Amino acid sequence: MSFYWQKYCSLSNMTISNNKWWQTGIIYQVYPRSFQDSNGDGIGDLKGVLQRLDHLQWLGIEAIWLSPIYPSPMADFGYDISDYTGIHPLFGSMEDFDALLQAAHERGIKILLDFVPNHTSDQHPWFLESRSSRTNPKRDWYIWKDACQDGSLPNNWLCVFGGNAWEWDENTQQYYYHAFLKEQPDLNWRNPEVETAMLNVMRYWLKKGVDGFRVDVLWYVIKDSQFRDNLPNPDYGDHMPDFEQLLQTYSTEQPEVHDIARKMRNVLEEYDDERVLIAEVYLPLQQLMAYYGTDQKEAHLPFNFQLLSLPWNAKQIATAIETYEAALPATGWPNWVLSNHDRPRIATRAGYQQAKIAAMLLLTLRGTPTIYYGDEIGMQDVLIPLDEIQDPQGLNMPGKDLSRDPSRTPMQWDDTQHAGFTTGKPWLRLSENYAHINVAAEKEDPHSILSLYRRLIHLRKNEPALAAGEYTTVHADDQMLAFTRSLEGAPLFLIVLNLTAQPCQFKLFNFSLKGIVEIATAPEIEGSMVSDEIHLNGNEGLLIRLA
Ligand code: NOJ
């Protein structure tokens, strides 16, 4: 082994091993209802996830984030929890969960749970007690207010899923507050008993061995202590969800939320320093960064959702990447998300052909990628007929096209009936394209997006510059984005992406370019040399190992 090579190996191994698993690894979101059904009831379950661990291991992901699996009346498909420490019978039993956790761990795959601290179900025993009388010891666990003197609502706050955010309780003659459905009353985190109970929920799962949490709507948890009226949103347009008529000036994002985030982080650290806290926070960049904590003691990863809503334009994306990189706190670790269960899928937003380019972007940017189940095979949103819509957001605001069902359809495993997802009737219709867009077919096809995902994931794992190196934009215009990933002592990579269907050309002035195409959207050119000028076809992307 040459001296240079020895030096390179030791440097790069050191850099990768200095990072935590949640920095170099890839997180994969499973929406359990739609992943794999094992008992023919048409709804995915935990045994189904276990059956499909092979796929996830083959793909090379590091951790699974499971959307809620707890007992729930399913008014918001599990985000209305009636028992934080149980398993919904639809998904299986606690034994099934333990078996999944163990099997995943045996394969080196971590399990993250969805932690929903802002609200419970209205069927949670805490709320049933709370609403039973004004003097019940749990009355103050939720947010109860009298009507104003003129009989009107306590304030003007609106519900995310349509209508106002206050529900009248006939029995006790007060309103309770719900930021989401009336079946999802908000907990009162200003009550220390609530805080203790909820932090103990985290401890319950951490003790079982779960590897961390994705925290639902963290920025909602604490509200203005005076419950002042929210201010009007001057940028509101009719196409937007109704609640955006108001800025959420007082109903979310209060300074005290950071104390709560810190306490959640402290709970994780009672166990070991390998557990991860990911926060769902949809806020402008500067506010988002605050969720790392002033001394990095809040969320390890406040979700970076920019790619969910940016126009698919290379220049705008480059600007967003640079702005995000610049805004990160010194030791704050970046992360990227292309799709999730609340937003349209990337293959629908950017187009099926561009889904491969999006994959190359997600898996070569600096920071932890989160893959939404099915994105790896190019699943698209499925048009759900009006009379089949199940999502409350879609049902409550008809005409605004806000249903989230289209991006929650069953995973497409093979070309058998119902795509191998279930032997029963799927809870939500599947895409008709499953005959060719499915795991089994794509696994055999080197040109498939699935093969591309896998090649990218495996290269990223083995190349220190891709796992942990610096990001530098090299070029961005309306069509093309090019950047490097570099790490001292490790091979340097150039990524060139054509974000349009028209061909383009990449040439660097003052720089002689030489390298080998390591990964390409067209695999037949992998291994070929490039120099000086690169011609890209429409929808083409290249990852080049520079000489
Ligand atoms: C955010 C979740 O991602 C979404 O699916 C849910 O409806 C709301 N929080 C309420 O919990």
Token readout for 260 is 């709560």
CB-facing half-sphere around the CA of 502: CA atoms within 13 A: 5
216 lines ligand 1 (CB under 6 A): yes
Instruction: Tell me, in angstroms, the distance from the centre of ligand 1 to residue 216's CA.
Output: 7
1 — pLDDT class (breaks 50, 70, 90)? very low
Q: How far apart are the first and last CA of the chain?
A: 19
433-456 mean pLDDT:
98
229 lines ligand 1 (CB under 6 A): no
**Residue nearest (by alpha carbon) to ligand 1 atom 6:** 79
Domains and their CATH numbers in the chain: 20-120+192-229+253-457 (3.20.20.80), 468-546 (2.60.40.1180)
Residue for token pair 């090579």 = 5
Instruction: Tell me, in angstroms, the distance from the centre of ligand 1 to residue 439's CA.
Output: 28
176 — pLDDT class (breaks 50, 70, 90)? very high
Contact 519, 452 (CB under 8 A): yes
Residue from 280, 376, 405, 463 carrying the catalytic annotation: 280
Residue 216's nearest CA partner among 238, 245, 186 is 186
18 — pLDDT class (breaks 50, 70, 90)? confident
Residue 545 has pLDDT above 90, yes or no: yes
Q: Kindly compute the dihedral angle of the four CA atoms of residues 453, 458, 459, 462, in this order, to the nearest 10 degrees.
A: 160
**Residue nearest (by alpha carbon) to ligand 1 atom 3:** 342
Instruction: Tell me, in angstroms, the distance from the centre of ligand 1 to residue 145's CA.
Output: 24
24-46 mean pLDDT:
98
* Pairwise CA distance, residues 337 & 110, whole Å: 18
427-450 mean pLDDT:
97
Residue 324's nearest CA partner among 311, 333, 313 is 333
Instruction: Tell me, in angstroms, the distance from the centre of ligand 1 to residue 217's CA.
Output: 7
* Pairwise CA distance, residues 15 & 500, whole Å: 35
Query: What is the per-residue pLDDT for 12?
Result: 43
Burial of 284 (0-12, 13-18, 19+ CB in 10 A): exposed
Query: What is the per-residue pLDDT for 510?
Result: 65
Beta strand 27-30 with 368-372: parallel, antiparallel or unpaired? parallel
Query: What is the per-residue pLDDT for 16?
Result: 59
Burial of 196 (0-12, 13-18, 19+ CB in 10 A): exposed
* Pairwise CA distance, residues 381 & 428, whole Å: 12
User: What are the backbone dihedrals phi and psi of residue 449, each rounded to the nearest 5 degrees, phi first?
Assistant: -65, -35
- pLDDT tens per residue across span 329-372: 999 999 999 999 999 999 999 999 999 999 999 999 999 999 99
Which of 31, 69, 116, 216 best tests ligand 1's pocket when mutated (most atoms within 8 Å of CB)? 216
Instruction: Tell me, in angstroms, the distance from the centre of ligand 1 to residue 247's CA.
Output: 19
Residue from 186, 216, 376, 518 carrying the catalytic annotation: 216
Token readout for 23 is 């920095």
5 — pLDDT class (breaks 50, 70, 90)? very low
Residue 284 has pLDDT above 60, yes or no: yes
User: What are the backbone dihedrals phi and psi of residue 279, each rounded to the nearest 5 degrees, phi first?
Assistant: -115, 130
509-514 mean pLDDT:
78
Counting from 1 in the atom list of ligand 1, the atom nearest the Cα of 179 is 10
537 — pLDDT class (breaks 50, 70, 90)? very high
Collapse the DSSP code of 480 into the 3-class scheme (helix H, G, I; strand E, B; otherwise coil) and give the result: strand
Which of 217, 282, 340, 391 best tests ligand 1's pocket when mutated (most atoms within 8 Å of CB)? 217
* Pairwise CA distance, residues 67 & 348, whole Å: 22
180 lines ligand 1 (CB under 6 A): yes
Counting from 1 in the atom list of ligand 1, the atom nearest the Cα of 404 is 5
| Dihedral-angle region of residue 355 (phi above 0 means left; psi in -120 to 50 means alpha; beta otherwise) | alpha
80 lines ligand 1 (CB under 6 A): no
* Pairwise CA distance, residues 248 & 257, whole Å: 14
- pLDDT tens per residue across span 229-272: 999 999 999 889 999 999 999 999 999 999 999 999 999 999 99
Segments of 102-252 assigned E as strands: 110-115, 144-145, 166-169, 174-177, 212-215
Contact 493, 465 (CB under 8 A): yes
Cα–Cα separations (whole angstroms), residue 422 to 74, 384, 425, 443: 20, 19, 7, 20
**Residue nearest (by alpha carbon) to ligand 1 atom 8:** 79
Residue 9 has pLDDT above 70, yes or no: no
Which of 31, 79, 407 best tests ligand 1's pocket when mutated (most atoms within 8 Å of CB)? 79
31 — pLDDT class (breaks 50, 70, 90)? very high
**Residue nearest (by alpha carbon) to ligand 1 atom 5:** 342
* Pairwise CA distance, residues 247 & 450, whole Å: 41
Residue 378 has pLDDT above 90, yes or no: yes
Query: What is the per-residue pLDDT for 7?
Result: 35
Beta strand 533-536 with 301-302: parallel, antiparallel or unpaired? unpaired
The rounded radius of gyration (Å) of the Cα atoms in the chain is: 24
* Pairwise CA distance, residues 271 & 265, whole Å: 11
Counting from 1 in the atom list of ligand 1, the atom nearest the Cα of 79 is 11
Q: Which residues pair with 213 in a beta bridge?
A: 113, 277
511 — pLDDT class (breaks 50, 70, 90)? confident
CB-facing half-sphere around the CA of 385: CA atoms within 13 A: 3
* Pairwise CA distance, residues 355 & 350, whole Å: 7
430-457 mean pLDDT:
97
**Residue nearest (by alpha carbon) to ligand 1 atom 11:** 79
Query: What is the per-residue pLDDT for 239?
Result: 87
Whole-model pTM: value is 0.96
Give the H/E segment covering residue 532. Answer: none
217 lines ligand 1 (CB under 6 A): yes
Contact 255, 294 (CB under 8 A): no
Q: Which residues pair with 505 in a beta bridge?
A: 535
Instruction: Tell me, in angstroms, the distance from the centre of ligand 1 to residue 72's CA.
Output: 14
309 — pLDDT class (breaks 50, 70, 90)? very high
User: What are the backbone dihedrals phi and psi of residue 42, each rounded to the nearest 5 degrees, phi first?
Assistant: 85, 0
Contact 463, 470 (CB under 8 A): no
Residue 117 has pLDDT above 80, yes or no: yes
372 lines ligand 1 (CB under 6 A): no
Mean pLDDT, the chain, as a whole number? 95
Query: What is the per-residue pLDDT for 513?
Result: 87
Contact 466, 368 (CB under 8 A): no
* Pairwise CA distance, residues 285 & 467, whole Å: 23
Instruction: Tell me, in angstroms, the distance from the centre of ligand 1 to residue 361's CA.
Output: 26
Query: What is the per-residue pLDDT for 17?
Result: 64
Residue 280 is a catalytic residue: yes
37-50 mean pLDDT:
98
Give the H/E segment covering residue 134. Answer: none
Q: Kindly compute the dihedral angle of the four CA atoms of residues 97, 102, 106, 107, in this order, to the nearest 10 degrees.
A: 10
Instruction: Tell me, in angstroms, the distance from the centre of ligand 1 to residue 377's CA.
Output: 25
